[in-house]
Amino acid sequence: MPGRVALSQVTESVLDLAAHIGSVDDPAAGATVSFSGVVRNHDGGRQVAELEYHGHPTAAAVVDEVAAEMAARDGVVALAVSHRVGLLRVGDVALAAAVSAAHRREAFEACSDLVDEVKRRLPVWKRQVFEDGSDEWVGSA
């Protein structure tokens, strides 16, 4: 039986990793693994001031598709994943994910693969604004 997708979204709202973890809590799970992708203050030797994510209209459907695929994996009990769009400051969470599974190896692998697949497939573009006022666009998150 496939696992449950507790949460799958692309949102402008602040992401709460603890809420993601709580949403995958289940008595059938022996392990829960989480990931928080946070805006850092540097990239390529330059100081980052802020990021701005822009999503394609299909972005939420892509996250839903990836979440369903990962939830169908053996041993996965539940998962939650969110990607934020809009203006983010240093320290803000851009990507939050949590996976509960019957065993730790399944939870670690599914969470890692969930994050990698969302980052690989999500049609989101990132504008990095640097401390010196310059900016650059990155093709995808």
Q: How many CB atoms lie within 10 A of CB 129?
A: 15
Expressed as residue numbers, the domain containing 116 is 4-132
The average confidence (pLDDT) of the chain is: 96
Supply the pLDDT for residue 141: 46
When pLDDT is averaged across residues 27-47 and rounded to a whole number, the result is 97
Split into its structural domains, the chain has a count of 1
Cβ neighbors of 44 (< 8 A, separation 6 or more) are none
Query: Is the residue at 84 inside a domain?
Result: yes
Q: Which residue has the higher pLDDT, 139 or 79?
A: 79
pLDDT band at 139 (very low <50, low <70, confident <90, very high): confident
When pLDDT is averaged across residues 73-101 and rounded to a whole number, the result is 98
Supply the pLDDT for residue 112: 98
Supply the pLDDT for residue 128: 96
Here the CATH number for the domain that contains residue 30 is: 3.90.1170.40
Query: Is the residue at 30 inside a domain?
Result: yes
Query: Is the residue at 14 inside a domain?
Result: yes
Does the pLDDT of residue 61 top 90, yes or no?
A: yes
Query: Is the residue at 140 inside a domain?
Result: no
pLDDT band at 99 (very low <50, low <70, confident <90, very high): very high
Query: Is the residue at 19 inside a domain?
Result: yes
Supply the pLDDT for residue 63: 98
Secondary structure (H, E, C), the chain:
CCCEEEEEEEECCCCCHHHHHHHCCCCCCCEEEEEEEECCCEECCEEEEEEEEEECCCHHHHHHHHHHHHHCCCCEEEEEEEEECEEEECCCEEEEEEEEECCHHHHHHHHHHHHHHHHHHCCEEEEEEECCCCEEEECCC
For residues 7 and 58, is the Cβ–Cβ distance under 8 A? no
pLDDT band at 1 (very low <50, low <70, confident <90, very high): confident
Query: Is the residue at 119 inside a domain?
Result: yes
Q: Which residue has the tokens 């939830």?
A: 71
